[in-house]
Amino acid sequence: MSRMEEQDQVDRPLELATFAGGCFWCMVTPFEQLPGIVRVVSGYTGGHTENPTYQEVCAETTGHAEAVQITFDPELFPYEKLLQLFWRQIDPTDADGQFHDRGSSYRPAIFYHNEEQRKLAEASRNDLELSKRFNRPIVTEIVPAGPFYPAEEYHQGYHHKNPLRYKMYRKGSGRDAFIATHWNTDKDKEERKKKLTPLQYEVTQNNATERPFQNEFWDHHEEGIYVDIVSGEPLFSSRNKFDSGCGWPSFTQPLVNGHIVEKQDLSHLMVRTEVRSLEADSHLGHVFTDGPAPDGLRYCINSAALRFVPKSEMEQAGYGAYLPALE
């Protein structure tokens, strides 16, 4: 667990967000480890039956959709960012189910809890439509939130309880293949190519590795945070940076675990664990188990994948919520 996640919950108002995006098992993992997310509950909503069971919902007799209800701190993770992440998990052009799961209980929807959420949700849907990312109309409904019924206990945190079955189901559902096809596309890469230096582009988009001891942050000691060069999502803190002697910036842990995705890397006749950013899917580097105690982890990261935000500029740059991680 990162230092950011360990800090005490600040006593300020929390909000609810409710999304349907097909199988609720798959809609928990994108949100649960992000800063400001207090809890994610799988359940049923949008129908007419009180306290429905999983079997009843799957039988399409209740009008309910499988959904997740998120309790979040809007100061740490605004509703707009939840919407951005939601759209990247679903097929917004399919109102009759999601991927290989068919039926109204798998329909995508945003259930808004107040007028501000409605306006933001409709604006985000309009932006997605105008982006022309999809060649069919956006049909995801935006409707008022009603009663939410938590699903049976065995559905809660299903990916933790049954990780192998979850991974097999998720891959077989077609969800990940759809996301890979419609996000981080060649068009996205072309746009990034205009904004990044050649080295930044090769590292983040083509999995290149920069030279050791000849990069921007390997010997950098200023207080602040390191964010994704593409998306700006917070990744690492200077508090967790250490000199590993490898010639690249090294960290003992991420600033927020949920912003880092680990993947098996079999390239160069080696078995390694690659780390990528969640939002931009940027190649960052690798994580090894030869780091310092207590966890023994060494996140070996390319400087070209990072942008540094000094502590003195974090508030103005919109990263004020992460200042406690430097204390």
Q: What is the pTM of this model?
A: 0.77
User: For this structure, is 300 an active site residue?
Assistant: yes
The segments of the chain whose pLDDT lies below 70 read: 1-11
pLDDT value for 10: 52
Helix (H, G, I), strand (E, B) or coil at 72: strand
pLDDT at 1: 40
Angstrom distance (rounded) from CA 97 to CA 99: 7
Question: Would you state the pLDDT for residue 11?
Answer: 66
Cβ atoms within 10 Å, residue 242: 13
What pLDDT shows up at residue 261? Answer: 86
Catalytic annotation, pick one of 26, 58, 246, 300 = 300
Quote the CA–CA distance of 173 and 188 in Å, as a whole number. 25
Active site residue 23: yes
Nearest to 225 by CA among 213, 214, 215, 239: 239
How many whole angstroms separate alpha carbon 23 and alpha carbon 29? Answer: 12
Rounded Cα–Cα distance for residues 207 and 268 (Å)? 12
Tell me, what's the pLDDT at 183?
A: 85
* Three-class secondary structure of residue 220 per DSSP: coil
Output the pLDDT for position 274: 97
Question: What pLDDT was estimated at residue 226?
Answer: 98
- Residue 5 confidence (pLDDT): 43
Report the pLDDT value the prediction gives residue 312, as an integer from 0 to 100.
96
Joined together, the tokens standing for residue 202 give 């090769």
